Structure 1
């Protein structure tokens, strides 16, 4: 009942295009080499996490960082939530850095840059996570994109202005905009100062919303949340 009431008060929920304002795709892109920075770990996949970074917070104090120019300078568009990655989960730990010789092509990387505006981010997500899920990078990105593009977004600018904003408010607004979702499947990651960094959406093996474990769920519903608008 609470979600129904919220749905009536939200501004029109927006699809992908509202998350990448005036972004245009390059024809090609360089594919950076990715070095493994942790242990290789193979395990049966029990579910998935779709990690979505809140770009205004990520770009705070990075506007002049040349390494983050596409996402943060404003010259390649403005971003809301960006696709950090699709991560496989396991029963006791998560698979990562699985052995593969496959690498995404320059064209494949370029096609991702309005969803994940960093060539290094795109290449790293395949190397660290995608190779534990599929044999080919194209399949990994296609599944990631289907999930990301299916989401609808409440007005987070309006939400950020709500007095006494809580983690429960963020979950409620997201669920009100996305039929079939449940609040305990919407994980939240805050930084040490309490500002929203990411949503972490929890899926089962069939890619249906499922309750997050404690680590992915993040702060309790009554926890204070702040959302940086990039102003």
Structure 2
């Protein structure tokens, strides 16, 4: 009986060690995928509704240089928040530490689409380093992705505040963009306002469905849409 107990304990210990080894191997494989630039499945083009961002910044008392540039006199509507590499589940970030230094000339060239220097630098560090391209090519892809999306007319020169449903925002984008479906777009909100529209795109910047992104969409019934500044 004693020999049986000893053998039984040895078998349990061996099985436990094996399980730990398998778990460690799985974690290593996952980490390798997460940290490998260029190893992702698709992009998300995030378009921020600038008037909502500026209202949020004002409520928080933020008055930094980025807020001054974006929330000054120019009437920004949708601006590019970023172009984010994604997995089918989850996403990589900060794939190179330290990240390669972003040339200031590239940053300056993007201010028409991303009107905040801090945002541009952060997007390169957090997301651009995961794209597996040079900084110049990454930001050129941002420009191409933005050019592939037509902003619905009601959001180009929004001079008056209004309320919408998330579905109405999606429908407006789908109507303005042939080939875009509601399964490829997600509307994001804070407690009361429209804050962002996220559009899923393949690596060659074609619209594509993305179930996980769609599941994160805003569930509120009505959203406020602040007017463009100066409107």
State the TM-score bracket (shorter-chain normalisation). Answer: 0.7 to 0.9
CA distance in 2, matches of 1:136, 1:214: 28
Corresponding residue of 2:71: 72
CA distance in 1, matches of 2:175, 2:131: 30
Out of 82, 85, 92, the residue aligned to residue 82 of structure 2 is 85
Kept after mapping to 2: 8 A contact 1:102/1:135:
no
Three-state SS of the structure 1 residue aligned to 2:80 is strand
CA distance in 2, matches of 1:142, 1:94: 21
Closer/same/farther in 2, CA of residues 212 and 158 from structure 1, 3 Å limit: farther
User: How many residue pairs end up in the alignment?
Assistant: 187
CA distance in 1, matches of 2:212, 2:95: 25
Kept after mapping to 1: 8 A contact 2:184/2:208:
yes
**CA shift at 1:178, angstroms?**
1.1
Corresponding residue of 2:206: 208
CA distance in 1, matches of 2:146, 2:160: 21
Give the TM-score normalised by the residue count of structure 1.
0.72
More helix by share: 2
Closer/same/farther in 2, CA of residues 212 and 225 from structure 1, 3 Å limit: farther
Unmatched tracts of structure 2, length 5 or more: 1-30
Give the TM-score normalised by the residue count of structure 2.
0.72
**CA shift at 1:215, angstroms?**
4.3
Corresponding residue of 1:118: 116
Kept after mapping to 2: 8 A contact 1:190/1:196:
yes
CA distance in 1, matches of 2:198, 2:115: 18
Three-state SS of the structure 2 residue aligned to 1:83 is strand
Closer/same/farther in 2, CA of residues 184 and 108 from structure 1, 3 Å limit: same
Kept after mapping to 1: 8 A contact 2:88/2:212:
no
